[in-house]
Chains A and B, each alone.
Chain A
């Protein structure tokens, strides 16, 4: 069975600085997708960034980028120029390439606080 591990329950960053959130996963599959979701106190999960395992290039979305190390089964999220609005719970998630739709496997989450 696949598992996702986020080893940092809490992280803190100064506004305008850069922070990296860690995520590792375990799978025997070669085809899969990885996601980072953000859940602010308002509860709604918002997709931050996604990565296809078959793509070697790391995904980027504005201030958000990932460091995808397939051999090491690592998928970290880097947030540059942190803003107060980035404060939230961040979840790393895995989806099998055999699944056409749902079944995301989530990590336990990292609570990010941003200091002004």
Chain B
């Protein structure tokens, strides 16, 4: 079974531009979460999508947005890029939980390394 696929692996942008990152989850996984990883702030949750709906959101400005398609693939978009947006962006997918009590783990992709010049 193919793992979580993120594209592109590397991206270089300049301040003020916008960027779109893509994530294809493991087949059958309907939950997709996004995380930002930086040396200073560590791993921070951005948002989670399930059945094309945002189910959970972290504490990031509105410049960060996402969406999920009917095939569970997800994209995240960052507008008006700032130097501080330079980070590794990780996507993770999981099976839908069986109600609230579910220990379904998240499976991560290799990430997209975004550099802002």
Q: Does A100 contact B (CB under 8 A)?
A: yes
Cβ-Cβ contact count across A and B, 8 Å cutoff: 78
B101→A102 contact, CB < 8 A: no
CB distance from A70 to the nearest CB of B (A): 15
The range of chain A's interface size is: 20 to 34
The answer for the CA separation of A103 and B55 in the assembled complex, in Å, is 10
A44→B97 contact, CB < 8 A: no
CB distance from B85 to the nearest CB of A (A): 18
Prevailing SS type, chain A contact patch? loop
Interface residues as binary, B58-99 with A (CB distance below 8 Å gives 1, 0 otherwise): 100000000000000000000000000000101010101101
CB distance from B89 to the nearest CB of A (A): 11
Q: Which residue of A lies closest to B107 (CB)?
A: A47
CB distance from A18 to the nearest CB of B (A): 25
Q: Which of A37, A104, A109 contacts B45 (CB 8 A)?
A: A104
Interface residues of chain B, those whose CB is within 8 Å of chain A, are 31-33, 35, 42-45, 48, 50, 55-56, 58, 88, 90, 92, 94, 96-97, 99-111
